[in-house]
Amino acid sequence: MVAIAADHVKWGSMKASRQNTAVEGLLESLRLLRQRLVEHEIYSRIQTLDDLQVFMSHHVFAVWDFMSLLKALQRHCTCVTLPWVPEGNPVSRRLINEIVLAEESDEQSEGGYTSHFELYLAAMEQCGADKSRVEDFLACIRRGEGVHEALEAARVPGPARAFVNTTWRIIESGRPHSIAAAFALGREELIPDMFRRLIADLRRRFPSQVDLYYNYLERHIHLDEETHTPMALRMLTALCEDDEGKWKEATYTARLALNTRITLWDGVAEAISVAKGRADSSTTKSRCASSGSSIRTSQ
């Protein structure tokens, strides 16, 4: 009996070791893509409050579909229907419910609770970013329109629309391990380093206009790095187990998620440049009109 117990412990240890190796190999395979994202030009493009407003009007849709990835995982890993029955791996149930608690009803520094998406909307309001597209999109969703149709109806900017459509295809795949890969490796593990680049001197440059956004970024850097990333990786491991096919699908999905984020950042950087061009053109026209008026007056 002792020998059997010892063999069981040894087998469990070997299994855990193989799974840890699989996670490490997956992370290493994504290293170059991850580096491209952390070093992307988008962070240095945000020089003015107008630039930040353009960025937020796109990025808010990534915040929304993050919540949808999260809730899709909760649906797959737990029982969210009635009558209740125990479903899913207990470890995954615990991990996803803990993450949902913070993301959907986090404590606010001034008291009360809010979702991180709602905090982002409040930050947009504070800094003057355009919320009309995301509000129109949510109105469409509440009326029962599908995600793809709502994106079109709300005239969501092209880069953000493409990003959400890709996320939604991952969700609609119905593969919990693939959804977990997009969540863990395309979001939680990546977010702290991305947000550090964004937060560098944000508050110094825009005092009183970005306090809420700064708090949003700071909260995610610490929460994701210290708590949610380890949880998400454990959940991914529990969902893939020793299934080589699942690990391959997880790798494919993680790469897709990172490449889609690169495309989003490329599109937002271009949108910032276009907005700057329009502003410069408007300023030039205004100066020319003013100069012409002065000449006519002097004549």
pLDDT in tens, 169-185: 999 999 999 999 999 99
In a domain, 4, yes or no: no
pLDDT in tens, 25-48: 999 999 999 999 999 999 999 999
d(CA 104, CA 152): 26
Tokens 């580096």 identify what position? Answer: 35
d(CA 227, CA 103): 12
Over residues 130-158, the mean pLDDT reads 98
Residue 199: the pLDDT is 85
Query: Domain holding 145: CATH number?
Result: 1.20.910.10
In a domain, 190, yes or no: yes
In a domain, 11, yes or no: no
In a domain, 280, yes or no: no
d(CA 167, CA 172): 9
d(CA 157, CA 136): 12
Secondary structure (3-state) at 257:
helix
In a domain, 18, yes or no: no
Instruction: Please count the structural domains in the chain.
Output: 1
Secondary structure (3-state) at 283:
helix
The residue among 191, 247, 218 whose CA lies nearest residue 18 is: 247
Q: Check pLDDT > 80 for residue 193.
A: yes
Q: Which domain holds residue 73?
A: 29-273
In a domain, 296, yes or no: no
In a domain, 211, yes or no: yes
What does pTM read for this prediction?
A: 0.87
